[in-house]
Amino acid sequence: MLLQAIRVCGFGILVLALSLACESGPGHSPEEITRNDVDADGDGYCAGGYEHHELCSAAGMHPGLIDCNDTDAATHPGATESCGDTVDNDCDGHVNEDCACTTLTLYRDRDTDGFGDPGSPREVCEEDAPLDGYVEDNTDCDDNDETVYPGAGCDISVSNATELSSALATADPGEIILLAEGDYIGRFEVTVSGTPGKYITIKGPDTGVAKIVGSGGGYRGALEIHHQEYIIVENLEITNPSGELGIYLTGQNGENQGDGCAHIILRRLYVHDVGDEGIKVRNLNTHDILIENNRVHSTGGSAIDVQGAYPDRFPEPASRPRRIIIRNNLIWDAGFAGIGNEIADQLHIYDNIVLGCRLGLDIGCGNDIIIRNNLVTSYAHYDDILVDPSRTTIDLTDHPRHTESPGVQHSRDCSDGIAVSGTHMTLIYDNEITDCNGNGDLIISYDHLDGGQRHNTDGGHRYNLFFRNRVHHNRAYQTIEEFDKQAGAEAFDQIYINNVFADNHASQGIQFSHSVRLIFANNTIINGDAVAVKEDSDNAIVKNNLFYNSSGISFSGDSTPHTDSNNVVTADPDIFVDLPNGDYHLDADSAGICIDQGDDMTGDLNAVFSLFDDAYGTADFNWHADFVADFKFDYREDLDGNQQGASWDVGAYAEPQ
């Protein structure tokens, strides 16, 4: 017995106590060990610590094997796995390995960038995931480089129309569809979407030109995006000689359905020679669209157009197109408007150059819209101000001379400058309209009725602000025409303040009809016709306006009551700093006429401007950094941004001090 103990434990004969302990198992003397201690659950497998005990050599026992759970006879080495539990029945260190399970495909991620190699799949049970070195993603194009993955170097290269069509239907989120130089003829439709943070990008080469040439009939675009999200289109030339659209963002189920596009970016595109709109954004519930740094010209319709559905045709105003930014685009020779909108909300239109279009900006039937710092002019004048930037107040840094401008004959002149119709809470400020030679109006503002149906269900045309605009050296039927579109329509609570209207040679001047609670204050009218308030324009406030070589103000057609105070009519050129050279600042020496001589407008404007503050402070409007509080200016600021004093100036702005 002693020799056996020595042999089993492997110690010398002097360690008798240790040999006895080794033979006895945990916590027992040799005399106390029973079969139940060795195999408590009676499954024939010894518990850990007893696997070499002599009792384990008895008939039916399995010496040398460890029972991983000696309280459960169904759990021991060699047992059958019981599926659907969390027990390692056969004591091999795995659970349910021989069972049918819900499988999951994982992919090798050698470079640990979180994107898997599509060529290295592995099927595992869901309960065994995650698996070290594997991920569920299978979009890595180079699994040996952690810096290359979708969105950071993975491209789908295409070189013909067939490959492009395929890529537009199969691209995964984060992938870049890279067009090689050349022409792509056909009608191309994007039928896949990206995801937040993983846009699908469609782009042309950095050198050379990839040109999409539309073909086919119907109201279609050369490139269409139907009911998709998170798409970027950039650095392409697009034309459509078939006479239809250039780029078309719309819904999957036809127009006027609530399934439009969202989170789309169109930038650095050259869109030209199309039969209808160059860039068309349509459908209810289209939202979060950015259109920037594009060149668009020679279009049959508007160059850039946003359109929802008329309430009488689809009475669902909450799902109009909304949150659209249109910025830094160069537009010329559009058959209708440079930029058009019909029944869409929360547009931000700024820093655009619109040349030689029938109508510069045509904004209709929307709410909470900002139009700021746009230049509307003729193509010839644009060439002149590129040579001499002092001819405009607009920053042209992002709008260099277009490469095709030398020798190009531009057949269209501006007719109307900025038109707003049926809009609510629209801010039109710091824009410039100059050298338009059409026969329409420079500023048109009116309510919009069609068969008695208002297209803007939020109260029609009201609370629109024209602030610090420069409208000069144009030829027009009227400089401003504010009126009702048809009987029963009225414009309410319109504000024109701190604008300059100079040398416009309009045949009928500035006219307001059916304009209720109009405020026309601190404007400068130079070499122009009278301001006429007429036809039931009651409760008008006309204050602090400067008329130089102009006829002043008239009221007619039951436009009572009204306020007419501190409006100055003069023919003295010395009140200006440098009138011959187009500087309309009031000279500080004219204090006896204009400086600090106007009525205080604070009481007239406080309540109205608080409404704008409320509207433009809402979380829903501030979806983009450029939308955040662009209405930061104080209404006491003149065209230079100088604060009005206790007594307001007469006119739009004084010489900088």
Per-residue confidence (pLDDT) for residue 531, from 0 to 100: 95
Q: How far apart are CA 176 and CA 160, in angstroms?
A: 16
Answer whether 360's CB lies under 8 Å from 443's CB.
Answer: no
Over residues 600-609, the pLDDT tens digits come to 888 888 888 8
Question: How many Å apart are CA 368 and CA 51, to the nearest integer?
Answer: 82
Could you tell me the residue ranges of all domains in the chain?
Answer: 20-94, 199-563
pLDDT tens per residue across span 260-283 = 899 999 999 999 999 999 999 988
Phi/psi for 615 (5° steps) reads -65, -45
Containing 157, the helix (H) or strand (E) segment is strand 155-158
User: In angstroms, how far is the first alpha carbon of the chain from the final one?
Assistant: 115
* Cα radius of gyration rounded to whole Å, the chain: 39
DSSP string, 183-246: EEEE-EEE----BTTB-EEEE--SSS-EEEEE--SSS-EEEEEES-EEEEEES-EEEETTSSEE
**Joined tokens for residue 397:** 């840094």
Q: How far apart are CA 580 and CA 393, in angstroms?
A: 17
- The 10 Å Cβ neighbour count of residue 602 is 13
Residue 162 has pLDDT above 90, yes or no: yes
> Which residues, other chains included, contact 128 with Cβ-Cβ below 8 Å and sequence gap of 6+?
none
- Residues 487-531 pLDDT 10s: 566 778 899 999 999 999 888 899 999 888 999 999 999 998 889
Assess if CATH 3.20.20.70 describes domain 199-563. Answer: no
Residue 407, pLDDT score: 41
Determine the residue type at 459.
Answer: G
**φ, ψ of residue 31 in degrees (nearest 5):** -70, -25
Six-digit token string for 181: 């130089």
The rounded distance, in Å, linking the Cα atoms of 38 and 56 is 7
pLDDT at 614: 76
Question: 6-50, pLDDT tens digit by residue?
Answer: 333 333 333 333 333 334 455 556 667 877 888 888 888 888 878
- Name the nearest CA neighbour of 475 among 430, 415, 516, 527: 415
- The Cα–Cα gap between 227 and 233 comes to 15
The DSSP code sequence of 259-309 is: ---EEEEEES-EEEEESS-SEEEESTT-EEEEEES-EEEEESS-SEEEE--
CB atoms within 10 A of CB 307: 24
- pTM: predicted TM-score of the whole model, two decimal places: 0.78
Q: Which of these, 565, 511, 556, lies nearest to 536 by C-alpha position?
A: 556
Q: Express each pLDDT in 106-131 by its tens digit.
A: 999 999 999 999 888 988 877 778 88
β-pairing, 103-108 vs 134-135, is antiparallel
The SS3 assignment for 168 reads helix
Please, which pLDDT band fits residue 253 given cuts at 50, 70 and 90?
A: low
DSSP letter at 401 equals: P
Distance CA 17, CA 203 (A): 83
68 vs 255: which has the higher pLDDT: 68
Residue 414: other Cβ atoms inside 10 A: 29
Average pLDDT over residues 444-459: 74
171-185, 270-284, 499-513, 574-588: least confident range: 574-588
- DSSP-assigned beta bridge partners for residue 408: none
Classify residue 511 as exposed, middle or buried by CB count within 10 Å of its CB (0-12, 13-18, 19+): buried
Alpha helices in 336-409 (DSSP H): 379-387
Contacts for 555 with CB less than 8 Å, ≥ 6 apart: 533, 534, 540, 562, 564
- Give the max Cα distance, the chain: 134
